[in-house]
Amino acid sequence: MDTTQASGFSLIELMIVVAIIGILSVIAIPSYQTYTARARFSEVISATEIFKIAVLLGIQEGASLKELSNGMHGIPEEPKSTKNLAGIKVENGTITATGTDIVGNNTYILKPNTDGGSFTVSGTCIKNGLCNA
- As beta bridge partners, residue 88 has 97
Domain edges within the chain: 11-127
CA 13, 18, 21, 23 torsion-angle sign: negative
Q: Which CATH architecture group holds 11-127?
A: 2-Layer Sandwich (3.30)
What span, in angstroms and rounded, lies between the C-alpha atoms of 125 and 20?
34
* pTM attached to this predicted model: 0.80
Q: Dihedrals φ, ψ of 117, to 5°?
A: -130, 0
Q: Residue 91: what are its φ and ψ, rounded to 5°?
A: -135, 125
133 residues of the chain, pLDDT tens digit each: 566 676 777 899 999 999 999 999 999 999 999 899 999 999 999 999 999 999 999 999 999 999 999 999 999 999 999 999 999 999 999 999 999 999 999 999 999 997 878 999 999 999 999 999 8
